[in-house]
């Protein structure tokens, strides 16, 4: 039945790709294809799917879809909408303009070499990501702060998003779900496992910066007539006196609050709370500056404009992508891929490369590194023993590649979120990220195989 489910899943993937290529509505396409796979999984009883429900085929499929809508809206969806509202409010009070004005002085040295900015931004972003280990939250934070500055330097939208998404690829640290799963599998303390991860990440950051730099330059040179791309057009006086200079702190407030007080109630809740606190602080300061509570409250109302706009576009697409992703998982697509690779007789090095490729492709298709790695982690001990590969080498390689490949998936939440906010197709961003992520994955395989 695994074979049947895997083959059916591949056919659905091909059909989905064809419909998207024909410009079908992405959210509706992913929703319908996801429901179709849930229907097949129940009908064929793949992995005992019928045993999980006692409400029949209609109740099981649409009950699960309802669960996804409720859970995503209550968690990641709320976070995205809050950030959408906060970004809109920052625009209305010109706080983002104040930040751009102050940041353009040091950043203007890159005015003729805007792509070099990735050398500074990516390492800083990776460090911040250790403190805010949620790819979606991190992407939104950088969209509110770094994104307008990159555009101001004349960088294209897609190149700017590629740099932002590159900051979210290292799924490591004590708060990482996949890292904790891997550490538990290896019977290691999470801090010991994190120290091993750091030894690998440091050279990978250098590789990542280099790959993103050259790939962005190449793609932008091929799209000189694209309306997204502008030559350096920054005139610092354009942002002068639009708002008091101290307003530049407001877009950074969520990051500052999270770094000062990370809290104890989970990453998503902490970020949401930080946004709400930042919004209220900025609103009070702006009302005091205007000496008018009425005018201040009117401007604060723009928060709900951005809040609702994010719900209609980003959150809807995210939920439908999640249903599609879970449809693939329930069809046994991950197990099917593992079965294919496991039955190939090859040497240790070729085997680990094949598993790296399988991980990359599977996460690209599923759109979630957590879903994939959680599903496959129980099998890694037996797989490594059968293939004669170190369990540590195989586990850390696949765990980190799952984070890399997520950024190259057009249905990954972080890719959908930042792309929709920028008005760029998630597919375009995913295409831009494939080469850097494959490069980093290959270097990771070489490092883990030869040094671990």
Contacts of 7 (CB under 8 A, 6+ apart): 336
Region 155-184: mean pLDDT is 84
Q: Which of 325, 411, 341 is nearest to 374 (CA)?
A: 325
- In the prediction, which pLDDT does 344 show? 63
- Calpha distance 169→150 (Å, rounded): 20
- 18-50 pLDDT per residue, tens: 887 777 877 788 888 888 888 888 787 776 655
DSSP 8-state assignment for residue 74: I
pLDDT at position 227, please?
44
Q: Is the pLDDT of residue 119 over 70?
A: yes
Question: Which pair of tokens denotes residue 168?
Answer: 């979210």
Percent of the chain exceeding pLDDT 90 equals 10
Give residue for tokens 């702060």. 145
SS3 of residue 212 by DSSP: helix
What are the pLDDT digits (tens) for 396-431?
Answer: 998 999 889 999 988 888 888 888 888 888 888 999
Summarize the confidence of residues 244-257 as an average pLDDT: 80
Query: Mind spelling out the 3-state secondary structure of 414-442?
Result: HHHHHHHHHCCCHHHHHHHHHHHHHHHHH
* Residue 269, φ and ψ in degrees, nearest 5: -65, -40
CB neighbourhood size of 288 (10 A): 11
Nearest alpha-carbon partner for 175 in 83, 258, 256: 258
C-alpha to C-alpha distance for 420 and 136, rounded to whole angstroms: 13
Query: Poorest-confidence range of 147-156, 172-181, 402-411, 438-447?
Result: 172-181
Cα angle: 364, vertex 369, 373; to 5 degrees? 115
Instruction: Specify the DSSP class assigned to residue 77.
Output: I
Is the model's pLDDT at 276 over the cut of 80? yes
Q: Which pLDDT belongs to residue 412? A: 85
The number of beta carbons lying within 10 Å of the beta carbon of residue 174 is: 13
Instruction: Please report the pLDDT score of residue 233 as a whole number.
Output: 43
**Is the pTM higher than 0.85?**
no
* Residue 401 contacts residue 385 (beta carbons within 8 Å): no
Residue 39 contacts residue 12 (beta carbons within 8 Å): no
- Closest by CA to 387, choosing from 372, 373, 397, is 397
Which are the contacts of 384, defined by CB distance < 8 A and separation ≥ 6?
390, 391, 393, 394, 395
Structure tokens at 380: 């890694």
What pLDDT band is residue 128 in, cutting at 50, 70 and 90? confident
Residue 232 in this model has a pLDDT that exceeds 50: no
Averaged pLDDT score across all residues of the chain = 78
Residue 251 contacts residue 99 (beta carbons within 8 Å): yes
pLDDT at 265: 45
Backbone angles phi, psi at 424, to 5 degrees: -115, 145
Residue carrying the six token digits 């946004």? 275
Q: Tokens standing for 392?
A: 């540590």
The reported pLDDT for the residue numbered 153 is: 75
Q: For 279-316, give the DSSP string.
A: HHHHHHHHHHHHT-HHHHHHHHTHHHHHHHHHIIIIIH
Spell out the residues 6+ positions from residue 192 whose beta carbon is closer than 8 angstroms to its own.
183
Determine the pLDDT at residue 90.
82
**Model confidence at 433: pLDDT above 90:** yes
Mean pLDDT, to the nearest integer, of 238-249? 71
| Residue 261: pLDDT band with limits 50, 70, 90 | low
CA dist 300 and 282 (Å) reads 9
Q: How far, in Å, CA of 301 to CA of 323, rounded?
A: 33
Closest CA to 126 of 68, 219, 45, 201: 201
């Amino acid at each position: 039945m695994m074979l049947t489910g895997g083959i059916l899943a591949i056919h659905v993937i091909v059909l989905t790709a064809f419909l998207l290529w024909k410009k079908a509505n992405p959210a509706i396409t992913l929703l319908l294809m996801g429901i179709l796979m849930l229907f097949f999984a129940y009908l064929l009883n793949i992995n005992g799917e019928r045993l999980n429900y006692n409400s029949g085929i209609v109740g099981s499929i649409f009950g699960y879809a309802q669960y996804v809508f409720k859970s995503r809206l209550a968690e990641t969806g709320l976070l995205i909408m809050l950030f959408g509202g906060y970004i809109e409010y920052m625009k209305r009070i010109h706080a983002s303009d104040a930040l751009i004005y102050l940041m353009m002085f040091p950043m203007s040295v890159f005015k003729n070499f805007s792509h070099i900015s990735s050398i500074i931004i990516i390492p800083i972003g990776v460090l911040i990501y250790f403190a805010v280990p949620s790819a979606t939250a991190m992407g939104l934070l950088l969209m509110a702060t770094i994104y307008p500055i990159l555009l101001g330097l004349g960088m294209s939208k897609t190149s700017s998003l590629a740099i932002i998404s590159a900051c979210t690829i290292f799924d490591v640290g004590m708060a990482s779900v996949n890292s904790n799963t891997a550490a538990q599998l290896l019977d290691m303390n999470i801090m010991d496992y994190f120290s091993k991860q750091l030894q690998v990440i440091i050279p990978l950051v250098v590789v990542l910066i280099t790959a993103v730099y050259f790939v962005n330059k190449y793609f932008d040179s091929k799209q000189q007539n694209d309306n997204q791309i502008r030559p350096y057009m920054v005139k610092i006086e354009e942002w002068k006196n639009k708002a008091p200079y101290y307003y530049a702190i407001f877009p950074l407030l969520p990051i500052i609050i999270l770094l000062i007080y990370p809290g104890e109630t989970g990453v998503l809740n902490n970020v949401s709370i930080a946004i709400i606190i930042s919004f209220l602080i900025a609103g009070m300061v702006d009302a005091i500056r205007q000496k008018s509570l009425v005018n201040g409250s009117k401007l604060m109302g723009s928060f709900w404009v951005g809040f609702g706009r994010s719900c209609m576009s980003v959150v809807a697409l995210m939920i439908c992508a999640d249903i599609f992703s879970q449809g693939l998982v329930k069809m046994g697509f991950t197990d099917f891929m593992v079965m294919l690779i496991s039955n190939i007789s090859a040497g240790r090095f070729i085997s680990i490369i094949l598993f790296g490729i399988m991980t990359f492709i599977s996460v690209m298709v599923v759109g979630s590194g957590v879903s994939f790695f959680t599903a496959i982690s129980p099998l890694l001990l037996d797989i490594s023993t059968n293939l004669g590969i170190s369990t540590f080498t195989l586990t850390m390689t696949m765990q980190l590649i799952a984070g890399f490949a997520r950024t190259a998936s057009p249905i990954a939440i972080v890719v959908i979120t930042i792309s929709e906010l920028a008005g760029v197709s998630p597919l375009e961003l995913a295409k831009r990220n494939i080469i850097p992520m494959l490069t980093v994955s290959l270097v990771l395989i070489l490092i883990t195989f030869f040094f671990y």
